[in-house]
């Protein structure tokens, strides 16, 4: 598949019904989601705990498209094979999660998954300067990771720096945290192509009333596309 830098909306199932992941994934895809974003939290790297590889494997058959797994865990290397076996397409690890992010990205690529690297708001763009050849996606956190529904932190300058650094390389810039129709134009204008959104996608809808998911996804997409360069 050729590299696609068009705007993609990746709803985070962190904001969905945890007792109904399969149906929630099917509903957001039917309502226009491009990717499904899966937030793994360990209660150590971040304060909250969500779920692990077994739940990812259970979710996988309910996703037709891309399963984008965001690992907010430390250590990470010892779990990479399990998350790859669970069927992830993208596995994203944090620069801040350990001393050897280069090795982590090599290990992710070795499983056949696409390798993502995430940057907390306090981490500079330079942290990935020597990782570009090992990276398929750079996730710019626009909240401090650990919870959904937090206020957006403007990282436009960092996104622009990364966009210039990437050049023509086939690397996605993903934004995670506080994305809604008001903040989406800022990140799209700066050069991001994958927009994760939890609360702003799932609000007002449910598996039995999924139409609001579609309205929310279309509103974020339209706002982003209007500003995308």
Catalytic residues: 39, 176
Binding map of Zn ion across residues 103-142, x = CB under 5 A, - = no contact: ----------------------------------------
Q: Of 190, 204, 198, 210, whose CA–CA distance to 9 is shortest?
A: 198
Q: Which of 39, 42, 68, 89 binds Zn ion (CB under 5 A)?
A: 39
Q: Is the preceding peptide bond at 164 cis, omega within 30 degrees of 0?
A: no
Candidate segments 119-127, 148-156, 168-176, 200-208, binder of Zn ion by CB under 5 A: 168-176
134-153 binders of ligand DX5 (CB under 6 A): 143, 145-146, 148-150
CB of 109 or CB of 203, closer to ligand DX5:
203
Tokens of 148: 């959904």
Candidate segments 47-55, 78-86, 105-113, 172-180, binder of Zn ion by CB under 5 A: 172-180
55-74 binders of ligand DX5 (CB under 6 A): 70
Binding partner selected for residue 210 from ligand DX5, Zn ion, none, CB under the kind-specific 5 to 8 Å limit: none
Sign, CA dihedral 204-207-210-214, equals positive
> Using CA atoms in the order 214, 202, 35, 83, what is the torsion angle rounded to 10 degrees?
-160
Instruction: Quickly list H helices, 61-154.
Output: 80-85, 101-111
Candidate segments 24-32, 69-77, 79-87, 203-211, binder of Zn ion by CB under 5 A: 69-77
Only one residue has tokens 């993208």, namely 90
34 touches ligand DX5 (CB under 6 A): no
Q: Of 4, 14, 5, 6, whose CA–CA distance to 178 is shortest?
A: 14
Q: Of 185, 182, 180, 214, whose CA–CA distance to 199 is shortest?
A: 180
Binding positions for ligand DX5, rule: CB under 6 A = 12, 14-15, 37, 39, 70, 143, 145-146, 148-150, 176-179, 196-200
């Amino acid at each position: 598949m050729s590299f696609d830098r068009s705007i993609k909306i990746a709803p985070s199932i962190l904001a969905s019904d945890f007792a109904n992941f399969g149906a929630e994934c099917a509903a957001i895809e039917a309502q226009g989601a491009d990717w499904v974003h899966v937030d793994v939290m360990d209660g150590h790297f971040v304060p909250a705990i969500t779920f692990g590889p077994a739940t990812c494997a259970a979710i996988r058959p309910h996703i037709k498209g891309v399963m984008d797994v965001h690992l907010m865990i430390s250590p990470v290397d010892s779990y990479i094979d399990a998350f790859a076996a669970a069927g992830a397409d993208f596995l994203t690890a944090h620069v801040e999660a350990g001393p050897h992010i280069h090795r982590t990205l090599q290990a992710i690529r070795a499983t056949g998954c696409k390798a993502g690297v995430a940057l907390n708001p306090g981490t500079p763009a330079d942290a990935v300067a020597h990782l570009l050849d090992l990276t398929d996606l750079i996730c710019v956190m626009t909240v401090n990771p650990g919870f959904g529904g937090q206020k957006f932190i403007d990282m436009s300058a960092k996104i622009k720096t990364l966009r210039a650094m990437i050049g023509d390389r086939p690397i996605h810039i993903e934004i995670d945290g506080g994305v809604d129709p008001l903040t989406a134009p800022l990140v799209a204008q700066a050069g991001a192509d994958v927009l994760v959104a939890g609360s702003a996608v799932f609000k007002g809808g449910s598996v039995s009333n999924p139409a609001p998911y579609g309205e929310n996804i279309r509103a974020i997409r339209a706002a982003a596309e209007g500003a995308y360069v």
